[in-house]
Amino acid sequence: MDRGFGFTRRAAVVALLASVALAGCGSKSDAPSGDAVKAASAVGAVEKPVLKFGFIKLTDMAPLAIAKEKGFFAEEGLNVTLEPQANWKVLLDGVIGGQLDGAHMLAGQPIAATIGYGTKADLIAPLSLDLNGNAITVSNKVWDMVKPDLPKDADGKPRHPISASVLKPVVASFKQRGKPFNMGMVFPVSTHNYELRYWLAAGGLNPGYYTPGDVGGTVGADVQLSVTPPPQMPATLEAGTIEGYCVGEPWNQAAVQKKIGVPIITDDEVWHDNPEKVFGLRKDFAEKYPNTTKAMLRAIIKAQQWLDADGGKNRPEAVKILSQPNYVGADYDVIAASMTGKFTFEPGDTRPAPGFNIFFDKFAGYPYYSDAIWYMTQMRRWGQIPEDHADKWYFDEAKAVYRPDLYLSAAESLVKDGAIPRASVPETDGFRGEQGGFIDGITYDGKQPNAYLAKLKIGLKKGQRVTASGVTGN
């Protein structure tokens, strides 16, 4: 029905354009038609104006929704459709198969696709969508078991951050009863998997290793992790299949709202200002349509700036847009609970969390090589990368996937237009330098991935391999 309408529209417009062109032929001095031709060549620079992007129903897809709803895509001459996807696998296949021109992606997805873990494909990440934005939630049952022993602050609330070591007795009691302690994350190469593993390992619990080729990752595990799509997390927790999960918003706040679980730690507390989702697309798309790529990056950067503008004054409007059923679709209050500078841990324990979702500040959009390398060190740490590699291998792979050159080309054109301040574009070689802010106090330097791996207590060391029976080698 609407398609037919569209076609007739198109026909009408073609006729209109034709008449304008004819008029232009008739008299050279016709000013409007001259302008039309000039504008046509400017907009014509975008090779593929009709685009379809995929996303998962998480609040950190906000830059895409805002770019569309606030007209930033349209400003760049793009006509974008946003389509929710069932899970990360479907989304990845959509991008690789060409049904989607780009997507809100897990940072690990383009990296894993490029190094050939899972589906092999040449994907790139020219832009980082946000910092932080995840949390780890445990079921009420587990929370009741750990809460009495937690050190309290003066106001009687548990002192944060809470170490995973508090789970040790719970896991032991599960083991005694012959039951595995299960937790959920959203995808084998997701940020959530690595954050949950980091938190557990920092607390002395082994989250298990991956054998080559498997996606279970439960060899030698104290806590068994499994994959569940984000929107189904609360339902899976409620069903008792898992005792906790690590996921993006609004699915931690949904557990609070439904009174089925308690967020125990945010990812900002596991690793301060950690890089989160990226905008991913096929490498050949960016090569074939350079102007389109630049135009979409410009639109997304503008949306990121809008989201963080003036201390978050636009956030309530953003929450309203995200609560539409075609975007995140959860209730306004649930989304607002993490998007507006606060985070609720349990009823009555709402704390300020101004940095819970950062989209633009702190150079959030710049795709740092060191971020990609951190993800690769975690892939190696847990066996997803089965063999040792030299530092150079990490640098080369990171440079193949993360493309600050594309980001800079878009961002600098925006600076030139006066759309974003010069200070918001970092001057860097792509490495953040030595970073602290991890819950276990270990520092990370992207220029020394192997040295970093050696510092981590639980995790594969040089020369170690994983087989079904355990870790071998030394």
Partner 1 sequence: MATAFAEIEPVETEKTVADTAIPQAVSGGKPAEAAAPAVPGKAMAAAAKFARGMMAPVLGIFAFLALWAILAPQVDTSLGALPGPLEVAEQGVALYDEWQASNEAKAEFYAAQDARIAAGTQAIAFNYAGPPTFLDQVFTSLKTVALGFILATLFAVPIGLAAGLSPMFNAAINPLVQIMKPVSPLAWLPIVTMVVSATITSADPMLAKSFVISAIVVMLCSLWPTLINTAVGTASIDKDLLNVGRVLKLGWFAKLTKLVLPSSLPYIFTGMRLSLGVGWMVLIAAEMLAQNPGLGKFVWDEFQNGSSQSLARIMFAVIVIGLIGFLLDRIMMGVEKFASRNRLA
Q: Where do contacts with partner 1 occur on this chain (CB under 8 A)? A: 1-3, 5-6, 9-10, 13-14, 16-17, 32-33, 35-36, 38-40, 43-44, 48-50, 57, 77, 79-86, 90, 93, 97-99, 229, 231-232, 234-235, 238, 254, 258, 260, 323-326, 328-331, 334
Residue 40 Cβ vs partner 1, minimum distance, rounded to whole Å: 4
Cβ distance 227 to 186 under 8 Å?
yes
Q: How far is the CB of 58 from partner 1 (least distance, A)?
A: 10
DSSP assignments along 59-120, one per residue: GGGHHHHHHHHTTHHHHTT-EEEEEE-SSHHHHHHHHHHTS-SEEEE-THHHHHHHHTSSS-
Q: Which among 164, 163, 149 is positioned nearest to 223, based on CA atoms?
A: 164
CB of 41 to partner 1, least distance (A): 8
d(CA 253, CA 338): 7
Q: What is d(CA 429, CA 426) in angstroms, rounded to the nearest whole number?
A: 9
Q: Of 68 and 432, which has the nearer Cβ to partner 1?
A: 68
| Nearest-approach distance from CB 140 to partner 1, in angstroms | 12
Distance CA(346)–CA(155), nearest Å, equals 15
CB of 383 to partner 1, least distance (A): 27
Give the up-direction half-sphere exposure of residue 325: CA atoms within 13 A in the CB hemisphere.
0
Minimal distance in Å, beta carbon 303 to partner 1? 16
CB of 17 to partner 1, least distance (A): 7
Cβ contact 57:231 at 8 Å:
yes
* Residue 105 amino acid letter: M
CB of 43 to partner 1, least distance (A): 5
By beta-carbon proximity to partner 1, the closer residue of 79 and 241 is 79
Cis peptide before 161 (omega within 30 of 0): yes
Beta carbon nearer to partner 1, 326 or 443? 326
Nearer to partner 1, 90 or 150 (CB): 90
Cβ proximity to partner 1: between 283 and 465 the closer is 283
For residues 299 and 285, what is the distance between their CA atoms, to the nearest angstrom? 17
Closer to partner 1 by Cβ: residue 81 or 173 = 81
Asked whether the beta carbons of 64 and 336 are under 8 A apart, the reply is no
Name which of 36 and 150 has its Cβ closer to partner 1: 36
Q: Measured from the CB of residue 192, what is the shortest distance to partner 1 in angstroms?
A: 17
Distance CA 303, CA 295 (A): 13
CB of 371 to partner 1, least distance (A): 28
**CA–CA gap between residue 155 and residue 236 (Å, rounded):** 33
65 vs 131, beta carbon nearer partner 1: 65
d(CA 193, CA 183): 10
Q: Which residues pair with 42 in a beta bridge?
A: none
Q: Which is nearer to partner 1, 84 or 216 (CB)?
A: 84
Q: Which pairing describes strands 134-139 and 465-467: parallel, antiparallel, or unpaired?
A: unpaired
CA distance 331 to 217: 34
Provide the residue count of the chain. 474
CB 241 within 8 A of CB 223: no
Q: Which is nearer to partner 1, 150 or 260 (CB)?
A: 260
